[in-house]
Amino acid sequence: MKLKKQVTVCGAAIFCVAVFSLYLMLDRVQHDPTRHQSGGNFPRSQISVLQNRIEQLEQLLEENHEIISHIKDSVLELTAHAEGQPALPQHPLNGSWVLPPENRPSFLSVSPQDCQFALGGKGQSPDLQMLAVYSLLPFDNQDGGVWKQGFDITYEPNEWDTEPLQVFVVPHSHNDPGWIKTFDKYYYDQTQHILNSMVLKMQEDPRRRFIWSEISFFSKWWDNISAQKRAAVRRLVGNGQLEMVTGGWVMADEANSHYFAMIDQLIEGHQWLEKNIGVTPRSGWAVDPFGYSSTMPYLLKRSNLTAMLIQRVHYAIKKHFAATQNLEFMWRQTWDPDTSTDILCHMMPFYSYDVPHTCGPDPKICCQFDFKRLPGGRINCPWKVPPRAITDANVAERAQLLLDQYRKKSKLYRSKVLLVPLGDDFRYDKPQEWDAQFLNYQRIFDFLNSRPDLHVQAQFGTLSDYFDALYKKVGIVPGMRPPGFPVLSGDFFSYADREDHYWTGYFTSRPFYKSLDRVLEAHLRGAEILYSLALAHARRAGADGRYPLSDYALLTNARRNLGLFQHHDAIAGTAKEAVAVDYGVRLLQSLTNLKRVIINAAHYLVLGDKDMYRHDPAAPFLGMDETRSSQDSLPERTVVKLGTSPRFLVVFNPLEQERLSVVPVLVDSLHVRVLSEEGQPLPSQLSAVWNSATDAVPNVYQVSVLARLPALGLRVLQLHKASDGHVTPRSSTRLYLHGRDVPVHKPEALPLHIFPAAADDFCLENQHLQACFLGRTGLLQSLRPAGEEQAHRVSSEFLVYGTRTSKDKSGAYLFLPDGEAKPYAPKDPPVVRVMEGPLFSEVASYYQHVQTVVRLYNVPGVEGLSLDVSCLVDIRDHINKELALRFSTDIESDDTFFTDLNGFQIQPRRYQRKLPLQANFYPMPAMAYIQDMQSRLTLLTAQALGVSSLHSGQLEVILDRRLMQDDNRGLGQGLKDNKRTCNRFRLLLERRAVGSSSGFFSKLVSMFKALSFPGTRTGSPEVQDERPISFPSLLSHITSVHQNAEALVMPVALEKPALPALRSFVPLATTLPCDFHILNLRTLQAEDDSLPSAEAALILHRKGFDCSLEAKNLGFNCTTSQGKLALGGLFQGLELGSLQPTSLTLMYPLGTASNSTNIHLDPMEIATFRIRLG
C-alpha cells in the first residue's frame, strides 16, 4: 500500500514537472521579444521564421503530450487496483458535509492540436453567412405586386434563343404522418389510395413521373400489397419514373429534433428502402418543416446524397436571395475547414409548396394550372379565375400564359433549368386527379415542345432529373459546386411566412411530449447498445439459442415510433389533440418495451454463470426503475421493499465514460445500508419523499448512493435492512411557510424545522460552487465558483407572456405576444423547502403554477460542477398565457447569444432590434449560452424548448404555453391539452481563460490565436463575422450527456436468498477519448426483419470543443487523442470480427474493409462502421 502511494506521488511529481516545463516553454514563445505586436504585417522572411517556430512548437507540444500520456497511464495502472470506492462523507460539528478527497487521481490531458480546431481560421469564408445576411436586410415587407412578398420580374423575349429553357414539372403528394388525422386514419382514408393509384396511373405513360418521401407510410402500404404490385413498384423505381426522395421514416422537424433521432429515422428509412426496393436516395426533399437547421445538410451529405430542396424560409430572405440569384447554393458547415460538407441546396422562391405558388410569381395564374380545381370539383381558386381543361382550341393561349410564368421564375435562378413542383397535401388520392393533372399538362408540354420558336423543352421529371439536368448543363459531376454558385453557411431559423408572423411558438408547444421524446431516445440508445453487447456475448458463449432474439422486434418498433415522432407536426406539438394522444400512446408503448429489452440484456450480462440464464417473460429477473400509468402522466418511481435478505440492484450507465453518480432509490424503510458488490459500504444519504410542499409520503424514503459506474456497463449494488446500530446519514430539512396556514405532514425520524415566517437569504455550498438564494422566493440569486472572491449575479425569475388583442393571436405554431413579459404574480407567496445532506442539498419553491427545485450535488466530478434545476409546470387554468423562466446575470454579452442545433452544433445568434420580440426566439434542443471575456453561463436542457436573450446578460426559456385559439395555419385548434410537465435543466458557470494572463490552457489558446489570426483581439466574445463559430467546453458536452442519459436502476425482482451470483459488467477494455461519443451500437436486421443479423452499426461522433474554458476536477480521466481510436481491443471479452467504414446510413461502403482496426475521426464528424462482434 505504502509503495503504491510512493509511486503515485512520484508519478504525479513527474507529471507536474512535464506540465510546468511545457508551461515555461509556452511562456518563452509568448514573450519572445522578436514577436512584437505589429498587427500581423510581417515581412516574408519573418513569416517563414514564424512558420518554422510553429512547426517546432507543435513538435514540442506533441512530445510533451506523449510524455504526459505515458506518465498518466503509469499512474493509472498503479492506482487502478487501489480501493475503487468513493470515500464516506464526514460531518464536522456546525459545518457543512464534506467528502474526503478522491483516492483516485483524475486527469485532464488534452492534446494541444485538439484545441486548435475550435479556433477556426482555416478554410475560406462563405459567400453568404446567414448571421451577416440578417444584419444586412431591412425586413421592410414592401408590397411586391402579384408576387406580394417579392418584386416585379421582367425578361427579354429573346433571352432563351441560344440556350432553351428546360422545365421539369415534378408531381408530388405531401403526406403528413399525423396532423389533422392520426397516422393510421390518414393511411386508410388517403395514403393507400394515392399509392395504389400511383402504380396504376404511372404505368399508363412512361413519360409520367412522381416522387415520394415518407417511408413510414410507404412501408405500411408495402406490407399490404401483392407481389405483382411490389414488382411494378420496383420497375417504376428502376426506370426512373418513381423517385424516393430523402428516404427518411418521416420528413423530420429540424428545430426540436435531436441528432440521434434525426439519424435514426434516416437509417430506418434507408435500410427499409435498400432491403425492399434496392434503392439508395440521391436527393433531399423538405417542403414543410418550419425553418431549417444546418445539421440536416450535413447528415444528408454524409449519407451520400448530392442535392437537397427546402421551402419554408423567411419571406425576406427568399426575396433577397431571389433578387441576387442566390436561391441555389452550396450549403457548408460553419466549422468545415475545407469543402467536404458542401451539398447543393435549392430554395423554392415563393410563399408555399402548393400549385398556385410554384409555377411562377403570380398565384392567380398558377392556380389556373392546378387541374384538381377544375369547375365542379370540391376545391376552387381563391383568385376567382378557375382552371380550364386543355383542348386543341385553347392550348396555344394556355401554354403561352404558363410559359410566361416559367420564364419569370427562371429569372430568379442562375441556370436555364427550371424546377416546377406540382402537388400539395395528400394530392393524387383519386384516379380522376391523376388524369386531370397528367393529361392536361402533357397536352401543354406537347404543344411547347413542338414549337422551336418558343425555345423551351418541358416535361415531367423527378427531383433528381432536375438536379442531373442542372449538373449536365453546367458541365460538372453531381455533388460538385456549379461554377459561380455561392457558398452559404448558417441556418434558416426563425421562420416567418408573412408580416410579423414568426413560427417560434412551436419551439415549446406541448413540452410534455418533447420531454417524453428525449426519455424514449435515451432508452432506445441504451437498449440498442446493451442488446448488441448481450447478443454478442451470448453468441460467443453459444447461448444465443436461449437469448430472447424476439426483443429485436421491440427495438424495431421503438425505432419506428421514435422516428414517427420526429415528423414536423409531431415533436413540433402542432397536431390535433387526438393525434397528440396517438403519438403519446406509441411513445409510452415503446418506452415500456425498451425497458424490457434493457432488463433482459442486463439479466444475461450480470449473471456470474451464464448457464443459469433462463428468459421468463412472465417473471422478469429485474424490475423497472419507474412506471407511467398513462401516456400523459409523469413517471412513478419503484419502491424497493426491504426484508431480512439483501435486495440487489443492477445500475446501468448508458454513457461511454465511467461516471461517479448519485443514484437515487426509493425504499420502504429508514434502516437501510448500501453496499458494493464486494460488500464495501458506499456513501449514501437518506431523505424524505414529498407529495407536495408540506406533505411527506409516509413509509417511503429516498436513499441516494454515490457509486462509480463503469462505461456502458452494469454495476451490482446491495441494499440491506440495517441493524439498529447503523444510521445512514440523513438530510435535514427547513420549511418556510411565509405566513401561509398549511397543514404539515412530517417525515418520520428525519429532522424537519418549520419556520412560519419568511427566511433570510441563504446559500448552499460544495467544494466547487456556492449558490445563494432569495429567502422570500427560494429563487437563485448568485453563483460563486470556488477560488473566486466575487460572486456572479445569476438570478432567476418567472415571467408571463400574453397574446395580442388583435385578430392574429398566438397558437400552436405562432408566437405573437402582447409586448414584453410581465413578472409572474401568484396569489400566494411560495412555500420554500431547504434540504441539506451529505451528497446533495436542494431548494424547492412551491408556487401556484410551478414548483422549482435547484439541487447542488456535493460530489467530486461532473455532477458537482453545475446546478441541477427542474421546473414542474402546471398552467391548466391559464388563458392565453405562456410561462417563461429568465436568468439575469452580470455577464456583458451585449446582443450575442448561442443556441445549439439538434444537440449537434452551436449557432451564434444576435438579438435583432429591428425585428419584433418573437423573431428573436430560437430552438434549444440541448443548450444555450451567453458569455463575455471572463465567463460563460450555459443552460443545458433535457427537452427542446424555445430560448432567447432579449437583453445583455439574460437568458430566457419558454416553459409551457396555453392558447385558446387556432393561429390560422390549418390546425383548427388552440393548445388547451396542457399536462403537468417537468422541465429539467443544468446551469453551468465557467471561467474563460482567454482573458486572463495565467493558466496553461490560456497561454496555449491565446498563443494559437495570435499565430492563427495576427492582429485580432483574442478572447473577443463575438466571433469573427466571416465565420461565426463557437463550441461548448468538454465539461459542457459531458454535463449534457450526463443529463440526457441518466443511470437506470433495476431492482432484482427475486426477494428470496437463493439468488444466482451476480457480477458487475464492464464492457470496455480501455477508456474512450472524452471527445468521442458512441452515438449508437445498432444491431442490423437479418433477412427476416424481425430477427437480428450478426452485424451491427457502430456510430461514433467526435465532438468539437473549446479549450478556453477552464476545466478542473472533472472527476474522471479525460484524455483526447487527435481523433485516433483503436477499436480492435475496445470491447472486453469480444473480438472485432470485421470493420467496414460506411456512409452514415450504411448504404455505401467507404473504401475497402482493411485488417486494421485503428480509425481516425476529424472534430465534429460522425462516422458509421459496419462491424461484427463475437
Cβ–Cβ under 8 Å, residues 329 and 486: yes
Instruction: Please list the residues that pair with 499 across neighbouring strands.
Output: none
The residue from 176, 253, 288, 569 that is catalytic is: 288
**Rounded Cα distance, 996 and 1002, in Å:** 7
CA-to-CA dists, residue 711 to 87, 106, 626, 708, 947, angstroms:
20, 16, 22, 10, 33
Dump strand ranges (E) for 512-608.
Answer: none
d(CA 731, CA 708): 22
CA distance 523 to 519: 6
| CA–CA distance, 935 with 994 (Å, rounded to integer) | 10
Residue type, 223: D
Spatial distance between the Cα atoms of 354 and 365, rounded to a whole number of angstroms: 13
Count the Cβ atoms, other than its own, within 10 Å of residue 618. 4
- Bridge partner list, 1173: 1136
Does the CA dihedral 541-543-544-548 come out positive or negative?
negative
If you compute the radius of gyration of the chain from its CA atoms, what whole number of angstroms results? 31
Give the DSSP H or E segment for 685. strand 684-690
Separation in Å, CA 237 to CA 232, 416, 426, 915, 1049: 9, 27, 21, 46, 48
Q: What three-state secondary structure class fits 674?
A: strand
Q: Which letter does DSSP use for residue 357 in this model?
A: G
Do residues 466 and 209 make contact, with C-beta atoms less than 8 angstroms apart?
no
Q: Which amino acid is at 934?
A: Q
Nearest to 1049 by CA among 699, 602, 620: 602
Task: Sort strands 762-765 and 769-773 into parallel, antiparallel or unpaired.
Answer: antiparallel
Beta strands in 977-1117 (DSSP E): 981-991, 1048-1051, 1076-1085, 1092-1102
Q: Could you tell me the end-to-end alpha-carbon distance of the chain, in angstroms, rounded to an integer?
A: 38
Alpha carbon dihedral 334, 335, 339, 343, in 10-degree steps, equals -50
How far is 964 from 1070, CA to CA, in rounded Å? 55
Cα–Cα distance, 301 to 340 (Å, whole number): 9
Instruction: Count CB-CB contacts under 10 A for residue 841.
Output: 24
Alpha carbon separation from 204 to 18, 776, 833, 1041 (Å, rounded): 77, 76, 74, 54
Q: Is position 288 annotated as part of the catalytic site?
A: yes
Pairing state between β 945-948 and 954-962: antiparallel
Parallel/antiparallel/unpaired status of strands 792-801 and 780-785: antiparallel
Contact assessment for residue 898 and residue 908, using Cβ atoms and an 8 Å cutoff: yes
CA distance 186 to 182: 6
* Cβ atoms < 10 Å from Cβ of 802: 18
- Omega cis (within 30) before 494: yes
Strands 732-736, 752-755: pairing kind: parallel
Euclidean distance between CA atoms 428 and 197, whole angstroms: 8
Q: Are 50 and 42 in contact (CB under 8 A)?
A: yes
Among all residues, which ones are annotated catalytic? Answer: 288
